[in-house]
Chain A
Amino acid sequence: MDALVNKRIKQVLKGDQHAYSDIVSLYQQKVYQVCFRMLNNQHEAEDIAQEAFIRAYTNLHTFDLERKFSTWLFRIATNLCIDRIRKKKPDYYLDAEVTGTDGLDLYSQISSNDRLPEEEVERMELQERIQYEISCLPDKYRMVIILKYIEELPLQEISDVLDMPLGTVKTRIHRGREALRKQLSNL
């Protein structure tokens, strides 16, 4: 698949804009899924996923053909998702400061305040419930959990996508799993 993708990229770089539609077709599902799981809103996810492909197109000449295209594309998409979340939450930078200490305190603050009443949660269908529980995770844990268990990326690739040391990725996945476990402990 990488060979085909690189071939299409070279065609686009030579000026054949239409060749880009094959690239979009190939990756639309993965990119849209990350955006939807991350933003928990269909319209926003569609907008951001489209934006990711447009950014990739306009910056295509900076892509290193030796690297994996999907990693590069995921990186653009995840950055855009984080930007969008940041814009909705003016105190995001404050959160980011707290993340330095990396405690679970932040998680417990968020989840205990924002959760729906338990009877409502219990009435949900399985798929709705999964999406809901993921959406309750703090952003930084949600991203790694999505990449690991929904996109099924290897840890090293998650580290490349998020431009984050492997150790940090692991810590976040551990904390994400613990956070989810606590959310689900009454399941």
Chain B
Amino acid sequence: MSTCPEHIVQYMHEYLDGDISREHEQELRAHMQNCKDCQKHMQELTSTIAFVKSAAVIEVPPNFVEQVMQRLPKRKMRSGVQRWLRRHPFLVAAAMFCIFMSASLFSGYKNDQEFSVTKQPNLQVEGQTVIVPEGKTVKGDIVVKNGDIVVKGAVDGNITVINGKYMASTANVTGQIEEVDEVFEWLWYKIKSNAKSAWSFIDKNE
């Protein structure tokens, strides 16, 4: 077999993958006609494939679906807030009114509109978009504020995007990914901390 051209074995694999060219196939056949060693090699490869393919289907452990469903994270805080808002429309409207009338609070929010991102090696920043480049891995959490993040490589940690979008075609992120709409969260926070004044406002008007 030491006298056989090395590419003959390569052609065997091309043949087995079903993407051999006509020329390669002709050469392979011509060689094999006169070479017992290569006939044997090809025969062994074919039996190897048949052997692996005869693997029986593996049974899934019982209750697999139920166990996954139980382990799913509970619905997010945000949807809880949304339910709360639906149940208390008047209170929310009143609280919002209070907040928007309060100029000092509003300016406090506006100062917080600047783009920022957690400093991590391997991160690229283009304008207001943070990029995890292809083939690179960022180890650690990333927080992006007022900008977007595009993950082409991998992230070993959590990603939080405040006032922006997370973009990736596949999940190469080991941790949680969360998008926070800050205007909303901020209002929610203010509604909670101003609950007292909101209530007194409602009392006066009823």
Q: What chain A residues lie within 8 Å of B16 (beta carbons)?
A: 177
Q: Check B51 against A130 for contact (C-beta < 8 Å).
A: yes
Question: In the complex, A141→B183 CA distance in Å?
Answer: 50
**A–B pairs, 14, beta carbons within 8 Å:** A21-B65, A28-B64, A29-B57, A29-B60, A37-B58, A49-B64, A54-B71, A58-B177, A62-B168, A72-B171, A126-B54, A150-B52, A177-B48, A181-B45
Chain A binder among B24-32, B72-80, B92-100, B125-133: B72-80
Q: How large is the interface on B (under 10, 10 to 19, 20 to 34, 35 or more residues)?
A: 35 or more
A42 on the interface (CB 8 Å rule)?
Answer: yes
Q: Check A54 against B68 for contact (C-beta < 8 Å).
A: yes
Q: Which residues on B are within 8 Å of A, measured CB to CB?
A: 9-10, 13, 16-17, 41, 44-45, 47-49, 51-58, 60-61, 64-65, 67-69, 71-73, 75, 79, 166-174, 176-177
Given contacts A126-B54, A150-B55, A184-B48, 9 further A-B contacts (CB under 8 A): A15-B75, A21-B65, A29-B57, A32-B61, A54-B71, A54-B73, A72-B171, A130-B52, A130-B54
Q: Check B48 against A181 for contact (C-beta < 8 Å).
A: yes
Q: What chain A residues lie within 8 Å of B64 (beta carbons)?
A: 24, 28, 32, 46, 49-50
Q: What chain B residues lie within 8 Å of A21 (beta carbons)?
A: 65, 68-69
Q: How far is the CB of B154 from chain A (nearest CB, A)?
A: 9
A50, A126, A131: the one contacting B71 at CB < 8 Å is A50
Q: How far is the CB of B26 from chain A (nearest CB, A)?
A: 20
Q: How large is the interface on A (under 10, 10 to 19, 20 to 34, 35 or more residues)?
A: 35 or more
User: Which 5 pairs show the lowest CB-CB distances between chains A and B?
Assistant: A59-B171, A174-B13, A149-B52, A33-B58, A53-B68
Contact with B along A95-135 (1 / 0, CB 8 A): 00000000000000000000000000000001100110110
Question: In the complex, A178→B10 CA distance in Å?
Answer: 11
Q: Check B176 against A58 for contact (C-beta < 8 Å).
A: yes
Q: Check A185 against B75 for contact (C-beta < 8 Å).
A: no
Q: What chain A residues lie within 8 Å of B61 (beta carbons)?
A: 32, 42, 46
Q: How far is the CB of B78 from chain A (nearest CB, A)?
A: 11
Question: In the complex, A131→B13 CA distance in Å?
Answer: 23
Report if A55-B48 is in contact (Cβ < 8 Å); known contacts: A50-B67, A131-B55, A174-B13: no
Q: What chain B residues lie within 8 Å of A67 (beta carbons)?
A: 169
Q: Check B55 against A75 for contact (C-beta < 8 Å).
A: no
Q: What chain A residues lie within 8 Å of B10 (beta carbons)?
A: 174
Contact with B along A73-107 (1 / 0, CB 8 A): 00110010001000000000000000000000000
Q: Check A79 against B172 for contact (C-beta < 8 Å).
A: yes
Q: What chain B residues lie within 8 Å of A134 (beta carbons)?
A: 52, 55
Q: How far is the CB of B132 from chain A (nearest CB, A)?
A: 13
